[in-house]
A and B are shown apart, each in its own frame.
Chain A
């Protein structure tokens, strides 16, 4: 089966999820699939960084959290009819998804630009540590803001308003997340095969060699880093709608670690690896949590086995099977 046929099959399967959930009499499966689509989007953006740009970021949850906070803060000020204090102009937020979602992307993109401008001057383990440090700084910063819930975070009483969709309807919400996931995957695929993507991939192999061809590698990497941050922010905005909550816990280093685990499970060398990892991780979590509260004790050895025996994660395993 070629890649196009496989992708078409996955899209058809994705479109059928709510109907399948209804058929088996378990509508909760639609909510679980929504979570998978949201995390799949965030992990795919991390996969773009790790697998294609060669940048192992350990602070990706920070961008995810910023996206979630954008939705929560815009909701809070809108519902209280109070102006947002840190803006240079008077604005009382918005409930519109057409405002919240793009703003979540832009805010995360800009923060990623700042983090990238400083962290991309380092390499290897130093880059991992600096991205982790930035994410933890942001985590502690949000805890220190009592106006935005401090450690308790912010509850969201009203989901984003998207024209033509009712996000309180599980179907509508799922199709929004699924549609955005497909859009993000297509965008990333286009980028990876563009001249920008070629340069990003070449830089992951040998930065110095690429520089001798006149390529300002830093600028390309910075843009890739910011783009991945923006996508994580968009998925964070969707997560805030799903959980009807945003809190500093979304930015904690353990969430960044969880994203890396999902990526390793799914496979780093493929764009769909992040999505496959999110599906496997969340699926296993749901199944194992039904058996025991110590589900992580079982998930741990599964992860070790994937790393040891299925190089390239799930996608690597399947592509070897096909070849």
Chain B
């Protein structure tokens, strides 16, 4: 396995003439869980979309497993090993649960325990009870489970999670984090995480990257961020109670 699963070098991207990200450098190693923090509108979701190629990058280099992605379309980047759970669920509403789970390009990547339909249903038994139900008629939490399960079915090397547990009940949220943390980490896979819950991020992630106005303003281990209340206040708007 390559030393780094994902490498970004001096990535600049944005929408048309509006630049959102400036010279972003980021590396993610096997088994790592990295948190992407910042206030709303600072470019977190744009960075995830740029990694996948949904938003084309204007400058810089993306590498997955050491392979330069260039201007490859998002399906090629996904096949190279990037999984994505987008903000706002985004299931296919008129396909049923089973169809939503199988409409992925299957790739086991030589994993000893690849994710498949049975494993996803073990993680989310509630989906198993609704296999023939149209995804658009599921509750918000169930749709979220479906979106996570679908991304797991691609057996990603790096999973990009954009507020993936929003809408899940607290117990289910804990369960999802537990499974993702242990299963992916043990298999040498990695996670890049954006979440509204900073406590959860500090607890789950090994290290954090803070974005402010499209630039990386701080990076380091989660433990170190705990000791920087001033940073937390300035870039995340969090008071001393969170430190």
Contact of A198 among B103, B105, B151 (CB under 8 A): B103
B90 to chain A, nearest CB (A): 5
The reply to whether B78 and A209 contact each other, CB–CB distance below 8 Å, is: no
Partner of A202, one of B54, B74, B92, B154: B92
A124 / chain B contacts, CB cutoff of 8 Å: none
Asked if B93 lies at the interface with its beta carbon under 8 angstroms from chain A, I say: yes
Which residues from B are CB-within-8-Å of A212? 52, 54, 74-75, 78, 84, 86
Instruction: Please determine whether A201 and B94 come into contact, CB atoms closer than 8 angstroms.
Output: yes
Tell me the chain B residues, 89-115 only, with Cβ under 8 Å from chain A.
90, 92-95, 99-100, 102-105, 107
Q: Is the CB of B75 within 8 A of A215?
A: yes
Instruction: Return chain B residues, CB-CB under 8 Å to A214.
Output: 75, 78-79, 104-105, 107, 154
In the complex, A208→B99 CA distance in Å? 17
Residue among B100, B103, B153 having the largest count of chain A Cβ atoms under 10 Å: B103
The residues of B that contact A293 with a CB separation of less than 8 Å are none
B44: Cβ under 8 A from any A Cβ: no
B103 A202 Cβ-Cβ under 8 A: yes
In the bound assembly, the distance between CA atoms of A2 and B52 in angstroms comes to: 44
B94 near A213: Cβ-Cβ < 8 Å: no
Does B73 sit within 8 A of A, measured CB to CB?
yes
Say whether A205 contacts B75, CB under 8 Å. Answer: no
Q: Which residue of A lies closest to B98 (CB)?
A: A198
Is the C-beta of B150 less than 8 angstroms from some C-beta in chain A? yes
B145 CB → nearest A CB, Å: 16
Q: Is the CB of A211 within 8 A of B75?
A: yes
Residue A46 CB within 8 A of the other chain? no
CB distance from A51 to the nearest CB of B (A): 12
Return B176 CB to nearest CB of chain A, in Å. Answer: 19
Cβ of A201 and Cβ of B95 under 8 Å apart?
Answer: yes
- Which residues in window 186-217 of A have CB below 8 A to B? 195, 198-199, 201-202, 205-206, 208-217
| Chain A residue contacts of B99, Cβ below 8 A | 198, 201-202
Which among A206, A211, A216 is the interface contact of B92 at CB below 8 angstroms? A206
Interchain CB contact under 8 A, B95 and A213: no
Taking the closest CB of chain B, its distance from the CB of A177, in whole angstroms, is 33
B residues within 8 A CB of A208?
54, 74
Q: Smallest Cβ distance from B203 to chain A, in angstroms?
A: 27
- A130 CB → nearest B CB, Å: 21
* Bound CA–CA A206/B105 (angstroms): 16
Give Cα A205 to B79, complex, Å.
21
Of B52, B74, B95, B151, the residue contacting A205 (CB under 8 A) is: B95
Closest-by-CB residue of A relative to B80 is A214
Report chain B residues within 8 Å CB of A202. Answer: 92, 95, 99-100, 103
- In the bound complex, residues from chain B placing their C-beta under 8 Å from that of A215 are 75, 103-105
CB of B103 within 8 A of CB of A195, answer: yes
Bound CA–CA A202/B150 (angstroms):
13
**Chain A residues closer than 8 Å to B150, beta-carbon distance:** 213
| Residues B43-93 near A (CB distance < 8 A) | 52, 54, 73-76, 78-79, 84, 86, 90, 92-93
> Is the pair B73, A213 in contact by a Cβ cutoff of 8 Å?
no
Q: Are B92 and A213 in contact (CB under 8 A)?
A: no
What separation, in Å, do the CA atoms of A216 and B76 have in the docked complex? Answer: 8
Contact of A211 among B74, B90, B94, B107 (CB under 8 A): B74
Complex CA gap A210/B73 in Å reads 12
On whether the beta carbons of B102 and A211 are closer than 8 Å, the reply is no
A207 CB to closest chain B CB (Å) equals: 10
Assembly CA distance A195 to B102 (angstroms): 7
If A198-B95, A201-B95 touch, whether A210 touches B103 (CB-CB below 8 Å) is yes
In the docked arrangement, what's the CA distance between A212 and B153, Å? Answer: 12
Q: How distant is the Cα of A210 from the Cα of B102 in the complex, in angstroms?
A: 11
A209-B86, A211-B73, A214-B107 known; A198 and B78 CB under 8 Å?
no
Across the interface, name the chain B residue whose C-beta is closest to A203: B103
| Distance A199 CA – B78 CA, assembled complex (angstroms) | 16
> Which of these, A201, A206, A213, contacts B104 with CB under 8 Å?
A213
0/1 string, B131-156, CB within 8 A of A gives 1: 00000000000000000001101100
Give the residues in chain B near A195, CB-CB below 8 Å. Answer: 102-103
User: How many angstroms between the C-alpha atoms of A215 and B75 in the bound complex?
Assistant: 5
Residues of chain A lying within 8 A (CB to CB) of residue B103:
195, 198-199, 202, 210, 213, 215
- Once bound together, how far apart are the Cα atoms of A235 and B172, in whole Å? 54
* Chain B residues with a Cβ under 8 A of chain A: 52, 54, 73-76, 78-79, 84, 86, 90, 92-95, 99-100, 102-105, 107, 150-151, 153-154
A-B contact pairs, 28 of them (CB 8 A): A195-B102, A195-B103, A198-B99, A198-B102, A198-B103, A201-B92, A201-B94, A201-B99, A202-B92, A202-B100, A205-B92, A205-B93, A205-B95, A208-B54, A209-B90, A209-B92, A211-B75, A213-B104, A213-B150, A213-B151, A213-B153, A213-B154, A214-B75, A214-B79, A214-B154, A215-B105, A216-B75, A216-B76
Give 6 new A-B contacts, CB below 8 A, not counting A195-B102, A208-B54, A213-B151: A210-B103, A213-B75, A213-B150, A214-B79, A214-B154, A217-B75
8 smallest CB-CB distances across A and B, nearest first, come from A214-B105, A214-B78, A211-B75, A213-B104, A214-B79, A202-B103, A211-B74, A198-B99
